[in-house]
């Protein structure tokens, strides 16, 4: 078995699984660990090399390899890196950690500083676009890292995405960019749900109205993507309500720390919190239409 992998992925869920699929299809040897047995077994069926823990995943890395973290939040990231069976007990100077979850900028900066004390690089690289785009390489990656890491990681970044944006060298700038993007995505989604609910209340055919919007000035990618399935009462989770609820909270917090008051962002945050309060955490965020229908 190859014990010198250039990349291992911890977290093979929606986005991590999509990235793993792409790398395997491109012929990369990829290690994988996921605490969910189903996600882990699916990744192995795709050709990934199984690792029983994040620690063992790190042990399989080549001297200049990258541990790609694709979990959900800051708590899971902390556990992957520093918890029991965490990767940092085995990572070596010269290796790097690529942080792909949506995290607060302060969290990314703190992780980068802790890793630097061990001689380990940090690639701040949140992603956007959904699992299908992760799998076909059309998702966006917002990357902040040193010049040395940027040059060294080009092959991996180019394999993962055709839309890699270098947003800076400061750890946390990838996270800042992602939060700005996701705040706008949340506002656009809330607006699209509101418009569709209003169309229904006015007695319009919402599907026809949506087709008009898609050819007109009100169009947004997330509005089109979510409202098509919402109008079919399809709320099977592709992107859980929990995710944008978390991200809007992080974005509003970052805005407040910067001395900026985001009125639309706060409204979107509150509406996502209402959706969580309805017990819809595990539904697709297209469920915002249901919330608007109740107004």
Q: Which of 69, 35, 76 is nearest to 52 (CA)?
A: 35
> Which residues participate in catalysis according to the annotation?
178
Long-range contacts of 48-56, Cβ-Cβ distance < 8 Å, separation of 24 or more: 48/9, 48/12, 48/20, 48/24, 49/1, 49/2, 49/5, 51/8, 53/85, 54/10, 54/80, 54/81, 54/85, 54/86, 54/87, 55/85, 55/86, 55/87, 55/89, 55/90, 56/90
Three-class SS of residue 32?
Answer: strand
How far is the C-alpha of 167 from the C-alpha of 281, rounded, in Å?
Answer: 31
How far is the C-alpha of 37 from the C-alpha of 15, rounded, in Å?
Answer: 16
**Residue 32 contacts residue 20 (beta carbons within 8 Å):** yes
The H-or-E segment that residue 99 falls in is strand 96-99
Count CA atoms closer than 13 A to 82's CA, side-chain side.
10
Residue 140: phi, psi to the nearest 5? Answer: -100, 140
Neighbours of 216 (CB within 10 A): 8
């Amino acid at each position: 078995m190859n014990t010198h992998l250039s990349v291992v992925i911890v977290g093979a869920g929606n986005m991590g699984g999509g990235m793993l699929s792409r790398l395997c299809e491109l012929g990369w040897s990829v290690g994988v660990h996921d605490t969910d047995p189903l996600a882990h077994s699916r990744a192995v069926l795709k050709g990934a090399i199984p690792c029983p823990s994040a620690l063992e995943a790190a042990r399989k890395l080549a001297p200049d390899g990258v541990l790609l973290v694709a979990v959900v939040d800051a708590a899971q990231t902390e556990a992957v890196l520093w918890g029991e069976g965490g990767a940092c007990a085995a990572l070596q100077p010269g290796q790097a950690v690529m942080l792909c979850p949506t995290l607060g900028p302060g969290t990314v900066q703190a992780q980068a500083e802790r890793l630097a004390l061990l001689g380990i690089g940090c690639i701040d690289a949140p992603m956007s676009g959904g699992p299908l785009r992760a799998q076909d390489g059309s998702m966006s990656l917002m990357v902040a890292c040193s010049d040395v890491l940027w040059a060294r990681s080009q092959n991996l970044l180019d394999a993962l995405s055709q839309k890699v944006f270098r947003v800076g060298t400061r750890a946390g700038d990838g996270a800042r960019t992602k939060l700005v993007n996701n705040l706008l995505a949340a506002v656009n989604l809330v607006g699209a749900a509101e418009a569709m609910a209003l169309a229904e209340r006015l007695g319009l055919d919402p599907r026809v109205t949506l087709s008009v919007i898609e050819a007109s000035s009100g169009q947004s990618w997330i509005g089109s993507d979510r409202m098509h399935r919402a109008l079919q009462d399809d709320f099977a989770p592709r992107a859980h309500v929990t995710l944008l609820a978390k991200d809007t909270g992080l974005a509003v917090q970052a805005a407040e720390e910067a001395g900026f008051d985001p009125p639309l962002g706060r409204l979107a945050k509150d509406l996502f919190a209402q959706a969580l309060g309805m017990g819809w955490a595990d539904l697709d965020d297209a469920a915002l239409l249901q919330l608007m229908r109740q107004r």
